[in-house]
Structure 1
Amino acid sequence: MATLSQWVAGSRPRTLPASLVPVVVGTGVAAGEGGAGEGGAVWWRAVLAAIVAVVLQIGVNYSNDYSDGVRGTDEDRVGPLRLVGSKVAPPKQVLAAALGCFLAAAVAGLVLAAVTTWWLLLVGAFAILAAWFYTGGKTPYGYRALGEVSVFIFFGLVAVVGTVYVQVEGLPWEAWAAAVPIGLLACGLLVANNLRDIPTDREAGKRTLAVLLGDRRTRLLYAACTALPFMIVLSLAAPRPWALIALLAAPLSLPPTQKVLNGATGPALIPVLGETGRLQIAYGVLLAVGLAI
């Protein structure tokens, strides 16, 4: 039976900023817009949105652990602990943990839908289905080069715009403009992860985007994901000039991009994930502050 520390490691805590940053940025947009008649962000709704995002992310991680583990595609993987693949937890327990997280996210989402609009339930249902079928089911789309598309949509557009909506009950264009760079940085995390796993994914028959593109083009894609956010933020300069303080995070993009473009492989790419996560946090927090001013 897995220990508490193993369950925590299996939840992959280093991936959690990818779910929190969009909520922070969305709250920054809401603060600048004025929220639901209160003249600013609606903080309790922001907290609920954060709970939905984080718990759903943990559910995704456990779900992926379960699905990859029962398929046997995690046995030779480099990186964080796999509960099922390492045989430290029974598959049924990991599946139960994933479903429990999805249920908790659904409950928090239900509260937000009740105070805003019920169509959010449809968005939430799609998010949970996307989380499960990323590696679950007979034909997981994560094995069909669609993982980055899903991450961009749900960790960029849906997470940022949804957070803005539940607070201001509107869809300002700044929400969409801020969502794109956040989605790209989230994609950068997945691209780096899948770049590292090209050899084992190819052997296991997983046709990720990295496997499809090959090593060189995947490295260029990563560089694009970390560079474009600093160009896109310029579109926010006219209505909210303080958004440009996000450019202060640019130096953090250099070390991981240099490692990737210089050909780092296998375990040498593991630090890139941490550096990309820190870049995402710094960019997101600075952008949120700039949008809120």
Structure 2
Amino acid sequence: MQDKTNIKEVLNEKEGFQIWWRLLRPHTLTASFVPVFVGTMFAFNDGTIEIRLFLAMLLASILIQAATNMFNEYYDFIRGLDNEQSVGIGGTIVRDGIAPKTILNLAFTFFGIAILLGVYICMESSWWIAVIGLISMLFGYLYTGGPFPIAYTPLGELFSGFFMGTVIIGISYYIQTLSVTVDVILISIPVAIFIASIMLANNIRDLDGDKQNGRKTIAILIGRKQAVKLMGFLFTASYVLTVLYIILGILPILSIVVILSSIKARNVIKNFEGKTKPIEMLPAMIATGKTNTLYGILLGLSLLISHFI
């Protein structure tokens, strides 16, 4: 078994500012940036946008995602899921020695700032956004907090994809247009799938440890090999839906550029196949986040450019 020093070296974990940067779990933050970007660009493609609302929504979304990551860090430690040998993307408590209470307080602080940004967004759009936003924040906490954490069930991917994908895209579109269309809900589905896949990748990597600690994730229920096949199916479904939306005229023809991200999606599956140790699956984890990033940025840019054509 590797000791603490070796684990930190393998993961290339540095001291100082890098500790707090890792606490945010930066490569997962694309799951908050992408839906805001896509929803806003879809609104821009339909008309105009208010930049201040976009920036406020973007920052609030990132803060909520970062806080959710911190809750995950805190409660995984409290429940004994994390230890010095864990190769997860957190580790600020078990390897860096940051006090658990500090992380919990920082998470609630981020939530507080997000609420203030939400007040501004509501003043400029609708107070119904406050209701939806508070519900989203509640589920962000309940993902790993509370007596029955969602992340410990087979529904983790479904909840994360829905709230971080469909809900955020819908809100981002609504605050710009004061409406929500069927089309914007439809285009949120592939994005939601890619976001859910980030959680699925995490659960595939942590399958053995999660199983020992009583979790019942979808990866545990169907097994690692089938979970990897499920991820491949989800990726394929996302690209098929995108092409279908282009054919139906929901997305512009330029959106076909998102197919380029499928190269990274194939790398995810390849890097998972035949791997059983968490450290061996880190490249697949990273590639999953990059797939979501590439797909989302290419989709958003295609909508932006199409506005001017």
TM-score bracket, shorter-length normalisation: over 0.9
1:82 and 2:91 correspond: yes
What is the aligned partner in structure 1 of residue 278 from structure 2? 266
- In the alignment, residue 24 of structure 1 is paired with which amino acid? F
Work out the CA distance in 1 between the residues paired with 2:273 and 2:49.
Answer: 40
1:18 and 2:31 correspond: yes
Work out which of the residue numbers 257, 269, 276 in structure 1 matches 2:288: 276
Offset from partner CA, 1:244-271 (integer Å, 9 cap, x none): 2222322221111222244454212111
- In the alignment, residue 16 of structure 1 is paired with which amino acid? L
Work out the CA distance in 2 between the residues paired with 1:107 and 1:170.
Answer: 23
- In the alignment, residue 121 of structure 1 is paired with which amino acid? A
Tell me if the contact between 1:226 and 1:257 (Cα under 8 Å) persists in the aligned partners: no
Unaligned runs of 5+ in 1: 35-39
1:245 and 2:257 correspond: yes
Work out the CA distance in 1 between the residues paired with 2:94 and 2:145.
Answer: 15
Work out the CA distance in 2 between the residues paired with 1:28 and 1:172.
Answer: 14
- What TM-score, normalized by structure 1, do the two folds share? 0.93
What is the aligned partner in structure 2 of residue 219 from structure 1? 228
- In the alignment, residue 18 of structure 1 is paired with which amino acid? A
What is the aligned partner in structure 1 of residue 242 from structure 2? 233
Work out which of the residue numbers 36, 59, 67 in structure 1 matches 2:67: 59
- In the alignment, residue 302 of structure 2 is paired with which amino acid? G
How much has 1:138 moved relative to structure 2? 1.4
SS in 2 for 1:150: helix
Tell me if the contact between 1:142 and 1:208 (Cα under 8 Å) persists in the aligned partners: yes
- In the alignment, residue 269 of structure 1 is paired with which amino acid? M
The farther-off stretch of 255-264 and 230-239 is 255-264
Work out the CA distance in 2 between the residues paired with 1:73 and 1:262.
Answer: 24
Tell me if the contact between 2:152 and 2:215 (Cα under 8 Å) persists in the aligned partners: yes
Matches within 5 A, 1:1-293: 3-34=16-47, 40-75=48-83, 76-86=85-95, 88-237=97-246, 238-239=248-249, 240-263=252-275, 265-292=277-304, 293=306
Work out the CA distance in 1 between the residues paired with 2:101 and 2:168.
Answer: 29
Tell me if the contact between 2:255 and 2:298 (Cα under 8 Å) persists in the aligned partners: yes
- In the alignment, residue 276 of structure 1 is paired with which amino acid? T
How much has 1:232 moved relative to structure 2? 0.7
- In the alignment, residue 137 of structure 1 is paired with which amino acid? G
Work out the CA distance in 2 between the residues paired with 1:98 and 1:269.
Answer: 28
- What TM-score, normalized by structure 2, do the two folds share? 0.88
Work out the CA distance in 2 between the residues paired with 1:264 and 1:92.
Answer: 33
- In the alignment, residue 230 of structure 1 is paired with which amino acid? Y
How much has 1:3 moved relative to structure 2? 4.3
Q: Cα distance 1:158–1:275, how it changes in 2: closer, same or farther (>3 A)?
A: same
Unaligned runs of 5+ in 2: 1-14
What is the percent sequence identity of the aligned residues? Answer: 25
Q: After the TM superposition, which segments of 4 or more aligned residues of structure 1 sit over 6 Å from their partners?
A: none
Note the aligned Cα RMSD (angstroms). Answer: 1.6
Tell me if the contact between 1:26 and 1:160 (Cα under 8 Å) persists in the aligned partners: yes
